[in-house]
């Protein structure tokens, strides 16, 4: 019996190591680092009790690795994931709702449920201990929060992923409430991660720079004197930004505010090379420039200025919010800072690329 217990513990430890590796490709997603820490903490604990021969059966049965495994498998099926374990305040209770996966650029909220079918169905029938919440209670929480936290000016779609098959009656009840059910075998049918409700896109200065940069137009095979530019060149060789931007732009009308256009032209006049300026002229023929917003939209009425939230960025993102459209940007700092203040800005975020043509003369070709 004891030997079998230690075999189970070693299996759990191997699973934990696999989960750590599986999360590496998702490291840039907010919330993933916290999951990684929790997995590491549990791994260290299991390794310790195994090493010191103090392992107990409940150390195995209470492991969260099965839940994390299902979370990661569900995560790998999604497009446009922007957050893991995201927090959304609820009016009906003091503690906020935690959404397991926010996908499709915020348009889809996912809850992953790795419990066995019997316990799920008994809880739904009310056979639970005091204070425990059934999937129907959780569905109500998700629905309430989604009404309070619109994305792209629409209520997010809610999908509950189950690791085990549930009764048809429970599936029907959730569907009637407005919650879709799915599994790894039958995932929900998703729309294109770049699809939006509007045919317009707001173009940020950072996107203008990335699109016209020499790095994204064949000039990434250099080692620059500036470490940041060398890093961007390396990343561009691994994952080119321009095809991503073209995919986002597909079928859309590109717009920007006067402030964004002026800032881009100023940067270009100081740092842009000959080819980059030519590319900029051609690109801006595709972009319609409109006057800046005169008044901040309601969503930004109480935003606090920080090192990451400056007046220029605020006006550029306000232009998109005012027109109820997505902003394409590499300004992750603004988006993150706004989110910490409870403001979800509808954005497509891409990797940043600087203007580098003028730096190539002193760079080392690869």
For the chain, give every domain's residue range. Answer: 1-76, 77-190, 200-365
> For residue range 110-168, what is the model confidence (pLDDT) as tens digits?
999 998 888 787 777 766 555 567 899 999 999 999 998 887 777 899 999 999 999 89
Q: What pLDDT score was predicted for residue 358?
A: 95
CA-to-CA distance for 320 and 335, rounded, in angstroms? 13
Does the pLDDT at position 347 exceed 90? no
> For residue range 286-344, what is the model confidence (pLDDT) as tens digits?
999 999 999 888 878 788 877 767 889 999 999 999 998 999 999 988 988 887 787 87
Domain 200-365 belongs to what topology?
Rossmann fold (3.40.50)
Q: What pLDDT score was predicted for residue 234?
A: 96
Q: What pLDDT score was predicted for residue 123?
A: 72
On average, the pLDDT of the chain sits at: 90
Please, what is the Cα angle at 14 between 52 and 36, to 5 degrees? 95
Token look-up 């030997």 returns: 3
Please, what is the Cα angle at 321 between 319 and 323, to 5 degrees? 70
The domain defined by 77-190 carries CATH number 3.40.1350.10: yes
> For residue range 237-291, what is the model confidence (pLDDT) as tens digits?
999 999 999 999 999 999 999 999 999 999 999 999 999 999 999 999 999 999 9
| Pairing verdict, β 222-223 and 364-365 | antiparallel
Does the pLDDT at position 62 exceed 90? no
């Amino acid at each position: 019996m004891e030997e079998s217990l230690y075999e189970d513990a070693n299996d759990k430890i191997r699973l934990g190591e696999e989960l750590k590796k599986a999360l590496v490709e998702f490291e840039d997603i907010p919330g993933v680092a916290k999951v990684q820490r929790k997995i590491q903490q549990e791994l260290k604990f299991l390794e310790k009790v195994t090493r010191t021969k103090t392992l107990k059966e409940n150390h195995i049965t209470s492991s969260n690795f099965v839940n994390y495994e299902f979370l990661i498998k569900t995560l790998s099926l999604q497009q446009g994931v922007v957050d893991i374990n995201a927090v959304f305040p609820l009016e009906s209770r003091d503690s906020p709702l935690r959404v397991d996966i926010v996908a499709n650029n915020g348009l889809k909220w996912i809850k992953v449920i790795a419990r066995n079918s019997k316990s799920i169905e008994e809880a739904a029938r009310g056979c639970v201990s005091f204070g425990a919440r059934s999937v129907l209670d959780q569905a109500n929480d998700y629905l309430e929060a989604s009404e309070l936290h619109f994305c792209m000016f629409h209520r997010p779609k809610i999908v509950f992923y189950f690791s085990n098959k549930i009764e048809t009656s429970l599936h029907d009840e959730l569907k009637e409430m407005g919650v879709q059910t799915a599994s790894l075998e039958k995932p929900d049918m998703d729309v294109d991660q770049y699809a939006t409700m509007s045919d317009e896109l707001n173009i940020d200065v950072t996107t203008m720079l990335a699109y016209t940069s020499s790095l994204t137009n064949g000039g990434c095979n250099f080692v620059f004197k500036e470490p940041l530019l060398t890093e961007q060149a390396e990343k561009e060789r691994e994952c080119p930004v321009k095809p991503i931007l073209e995919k986002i732009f597909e079928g859309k009308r590109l717009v920007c505010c006067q402030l964004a256009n002026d800032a881009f032209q100023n940067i270009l006049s100081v740092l842009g090379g000959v080819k980059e300026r030519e590319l900029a002229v051609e690109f801006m023929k595709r972009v319609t420039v409109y006057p800046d917003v005169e008044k901040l939209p309601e969503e930004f009425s109480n935003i606090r200025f920080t090192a990451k939230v400056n007046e220029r960025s605020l006006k550029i993102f306000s232009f998109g919010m005012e027109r109820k459209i997505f902003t394409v940007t590499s300004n992750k700092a603004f988006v993150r800072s706004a989110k910490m203040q409870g403001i979800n800005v509808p954005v497509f975020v891409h990797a940043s690329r600087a203007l580098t043509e003028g730096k190539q003369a002193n760079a080392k070709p690869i």
